[in-house]
Structure formats: structure tokens, C-alpha cells
Copies of this chain bind each other. A is one copy, B any other.
Amino acid sequence: MEKDFLRRLLQELGAEENDVVYTDDLVVKVDGSASTTSKLPFQTWKDFGWKNVASALSDLRVKFAEPLLMLVSVTAPFMDVAEEIIEGVKEAARRFSLRYAGGDLNEGIEAVVDVVMVGRAPAKIGRVPNPGDLLITIPHFGYTSIAYKFWPAAAHPTVKRGVEMLKRPEPIWPLPLLECVTASMDSSDGLADVLWTMAKGVDIVVTQLPTTDDVEAFAEDRQLDLEELVFNGGEEYLPVFAIRPNCEVRPPYVAFAEVRPGQGNVWWRDKPLPWRGWSYFRRG
């Protein structure tokens, strides 16, 4: 599995497992995806360009890092596909005030986008919280799961919202106080993945589902498993921060889990959380 392999690799390199690479006061991130496995049927090539930028930005922002510049390497089968992807990249750069400084362009049989961001970080923030911390997030989980399942019926406002989140994610959420934050991750491979990744040497007990009335109503109406929608989605680009217990939780954030001493379990309603998040190379 991809995550185990990356873990082994980072250990071998003597590198810390984190969402960004720190060097002096800089953070560097490369984040990409291939269209055959990651472009959704309702995404245009522009959306695909935008999405890859948003995904990299999300990783920097959750670490409180200010992006200094962005480079984008595009592989594409045709020039017009490359042009559309880069148009989407430029739209995202404008929207998020990023300095798009150039990149590389190559020909291949499918579109692959790799986004590089270099930023400056006021502090180094890892992934693993301390016992006693609270986990907070913006409670908008579930929309992307609904969009994956129901997108051709995008007339329903809840599906529509999910589709919009997947087409044009906007990871420019407000940030909590830096001095309150002990760890952080953004959810790109699903909330379950975030929780299992953060639960290293500690346990995490989820106390409520970070979602909306909309999503709950939609799930009830269609008799969907609400928990699966919330935990097993992906590409929400929503932040999860671990904060010290004495810190105040202000909107749009809610506390949804507690960190306890433990051996790396994630608990939901007294059972281990059954989902693990999304991963490549499952078949292998």
C-alpha cells in the first residue's frame, strides 16, 4: 500500500512524516495527481488544474505556511488539454493570491499535474497531537461523498454543493490561534485517514460527526449510512487541528474528537472506526 511505502521511505530518508517538508524557515510541498485515477467525470480540465493547486495550498495552509511561489509541472496527451489545465491553475492562482512562477510541460498518454509550493512557516507543526488535546474542524464533511455517489443528479442542492466543492475547492478557511495548535492535517483522503494518521501513540475518541443538517437530512431521506459519508469521503480539503484543551473553539470550528493516552486507536461509539480512508494501489 502506498502509505506504508511512503512511511518506510521517509524513515529510510531520516525524514519526519508530515504533509510538508521543512527546511530552515521554508516549507516545500509537491502534490499531484493523474487524470485516470483522480479526475472526476464532472470536472473539466480547468477544474482539474484548480483542484491540484487547491490540494497543495491546503497542505501549506493547515501548517500556517504562507505560500511564496508555485510551480506547476503538467504532462498531457494534447496541447489543448495542457492549456486548459494551466488556465485552471491560473484561475486558482488569482483566487488564492499565489505567485505562479512557471513550471514544466511534457507530453504523455494521460494528464498528470504536479504542483510545487514553496512557503514560509512561522512554526513547525506535526501530525501527532498530545493526550488531552481537542480536535477541531469545519463541520462540512459528507458533501463530497454525496457528490461522488449522486453527481449525475446534481440538481439537488446538497449534491450540487458537493460537486462544487470537488470542482473548485477553496482551502482558504480562517485559522485558529497558532499558539493553540499542537498538530494538524487536511482531509484529502478522507476524515478516517486523517484520524488514523494522527492517532500515533495516542487514541482519538470521536465525540460527534462534523457535518451539517443538510447532509444529515439527505442521508436520512435516501437511507444512506451517514457515518460512512462523513468518515469515508475525500477531497474535502477541510482542516483538522489539534488544539490545547484550554483553548477556545470559535466558529466556523467545532470540537469533534478528544485525544487520549493510547496505542493508536480511533474510536467512534466505543468501537474502532471501521474506515481507513482512500488509498492508491489497493489492488497491488
By a beta-carbon cutoff of 8 Å, the part of chain A in contact with chain B is: 2, 5-6, 9-10, 13, 15, 21, 23, 26, 28-38, 68-69, 71-73, 75, 78-80, 82-83, 86, 100-110, 112, 114, 116, 118, 280-281, 284
Say yes or no: B114 contacts A28, CB within 8 Å: no
Residues of B within 8 A of A106 (CB): 32-34, 37-38, 112, 280
Q: A21-B101, A28-B118, A112-B112 are in contact. Are A107 and B280 (CB under 8 A)?
A: yes
Report which residue of A33, A68, A71, A114 has the largest number of chain B beta carbons within 10 angstroms of its beta carbon.
A114
Partner of A13, one of B10, B32, B102, B116: B102
Q: A75-B112, A112-B75 are in contact. Are A100 and B32 (CB under 8 A)?
A: no
Instruction: Report how many copies the assembly holds.
Output: 2
Report which residue of A2, A71, A75 has the largest number of chain B beta carbons within 10 angstroms of its beta carbon.
A75
Nearest Cβ on chain B to A212's Cβ, whole angstroms: 30
Query: SS class of chain A's interface: helix, strand, loop or mixed?
Result: strand
| Seed contacts A2-B107, A10-B102; 8 additional CB < 8 Å A-B pairs | A13-B102, A15-B101, A23-B101, A23-B118, A29-B71, A37-B106, A106-B112, A108-B112
**CB nearest to A284 among chain B residues:** B79
Residues of B within 8 A of A112 (CB): 34, 75, 106, 108, 112, 114
Q: A75-B112, A78-B284, A109-B110 are in contact. Are A32 and B118 (CB under 8 A)?
A: no
Say yes or no: B118 contacts A26, CB within 8 Å: yes
Nearest Cβ on chain B to A68's Cβ, whole angstroms: 6
The 10 A-B residue pairs with the shortest CB-CB distance in the complex, in nearest-first order: A34-B108, A107-B280, A114-B114, A79-B284, A112-B112, A21-B101, A73-B114, A30-B71, A30-B73, A79-B281
